[in-house]
Amino acid sequence: MKAWKAKPAIAEANEVADNPVWAAKAPATKAASLVSRAQTLLNKFGYDVGPPDGLIGPRSQSAIKLFQLRNGLSETGEVTIPLVTQFERLTS
């Protein structure tokens, strides 16, 4: 066993990138699907947000604020899980 020598470690193989591609895409995909669902339901309720694209634009934000105003909620214009849950309850 005296002939065995360890090979030097490759530094790149033991490092993690600060922003790996897979980590950057996961939250955005989940957020985009939540926004898209909110847009679909807002259109169903009669708010014209345009075609669901998963992006919060001015029409989507205005529709959310108007919904929040009409329902006594804090007017943030943001898509949240509780907000989409409330949308879902209104459709059932």
Predicted confidence (pLDDT) per residue in 30-49, tens digit? 888 999 999 999 999 999 99
CA distance 12 to 16: 8
Q: How confident is the model at residue 5 (pLDDT cuts 50, 70, 90)?
A: confident
Q: Judge contact between 87 and 38, C-beta under 8 A.
A: yes
pTM here is 0.69
Q: Which domains does the chain have, with CATH numbers?
A: 23-91 (1.10.101)
